[in-house]
Structure 1
Amino acid sequence: MHSKVTFDSSLFSPYLPDDAQANPNCYGAELAFWLSKKLAERGVFTSYPIAEDWGWFIEYITESEDEFWLRCTNRDGSADQWQCILEAKPKSWFGRNKPSLERAETLLMALRAVLEGQPEIGNIRWGDAP
């Protein structure tokens, strides 16, 4: 099961200037809000997007209370190249007891369907995050 997807699209280009972003050339708000809504339309519910220094994420919690972040960021300062990385969050201190990615299969399947169903998104490539 792959934990990273990269793709190209002009749908998520920021509409606010760089000085309104969390960090210069660091985008992802438009992508995170769009994904949160599209996933909800498929019955996969996440948090509202949350800002970080590196971009934005939406939180997904499974029925068994496993927590995952879907990190949404641009690549290399680009306004039309994007990536989403699934990150399992530990249930205890020091990063121990992280759930397996298989527990987020529902999220990943919905993410794949949402991205592949959008004609304005291209060059979709799945892989594993480092």
Structure 2
Amino acid sequence: MTLPGYWFKSTLFEIEPGEDEEVNPRIYGRQLAHWLKPQLERHGYAVADVFPEDWGWCVECNCESHRLFVACGSIEDFDAKPDDPLPSKESVTWHCFPAAEVPFLSRLLKRIDTGPELSRLDAALRVVLSNESQITLVGEP
């Protein structure tokens, strides 16, 4: 289960050369994910790890019954060519959203309601993003 999330502009996050080699090409967000880690910890989350996925960067929170995380990255630039320069941090639209995954066996054996924890994580994420003066929420791209 996922929630729609947040789209925003910010000058806080640099795009690091080569960071998209760990994810899909022209997807960025390493600095965003690492910035979110202590922000979520201040809201009571024990962040287990920050790591790349093919779709972007994952900020995984500890949860006993299922996987709870914030997915984050940039909106893909489909017009970019492999040799194009990295986009400027001012031109990037960032996206992050809370998500939960229940392991297959747990789904078979019992019903796990991820809604309350997912809503709590979404609320924390909204506060974190809204309270940062260098982030401007822009809605959907």
Would you say same fold, with TM above 0.5?
A: yes
Question: Which interval holds the TM-score relative to the shorter structure?
Answer: 0.7 to 0.9
Cα distance change, pair 99–27 in 1 and its aligned pair in 2 (3 A): farther
Assess if the C-alpha contact under 8 Å between 2:51 and 2:59 holds in 1. Answer: yes
Task: Quote the Cα distance in structure 1 between the aligned partners of 2:29 and 2:103.
Answer: 26
**Who is 2:66 aligned against?**
66
Equivalenced residues, count: 125
Assess if the C-alpha contact under 8 Å between 1:75 and 1:81 holds in 2. Answer: yes
CA offset at residue 30 of structure 1?
Answer: 0.7
AA partner of residue 41 (structure 1): R
Assess if the C-alpha contact under 8 Å between 1:71 and 1:85 holds in 2. Answer: yes
Report SS of the residue matched to 1:48.
Answer: strand
CA offset at residue 21 of structure 1?
Answer: 4.8
Task: Quote the Cα distance in structure 1 between the aligned partners of 2:107 and 2:128.
Answer: 30
The two structures have a TM-score, normalised by structure 1, of 0.76
After superposition, give the CA deviation of every residue in 1:44-69 in whole Å (9 maximum; x if it has no partner).
2222211111111111234x533222
**Who is 1:88 aligned against?**
100
Task: Quote the Cα distance in structure 1 between the aligned partners of 2:59 and 2:15.
Answer: 18
Assess if the C-alpha contact under 8 Å between 1:26 and 1:54 holds in 2. Answer: yes
Cα distance change, pair 88–29 in 1 and its aligned pair in 2 (3 A): same
CA offset at residue 102 of structure 1?
Answer: 2.3
**Who is 1:102 aligned against?**
116
Aligned ranges 1:9-20 → 2 under 5 Å: 9-17=10-18, 20=21
Residue identity over aligned pairs, in percent, reads 26
Report SS of the residue matched to 2:34.
Answer: helix
Query: How well do the aligned residues superpose, as a CA RMSD in angstroms?
Result: 2.8
The two structures have a TM-score, normalised by structure 2, of 0.71
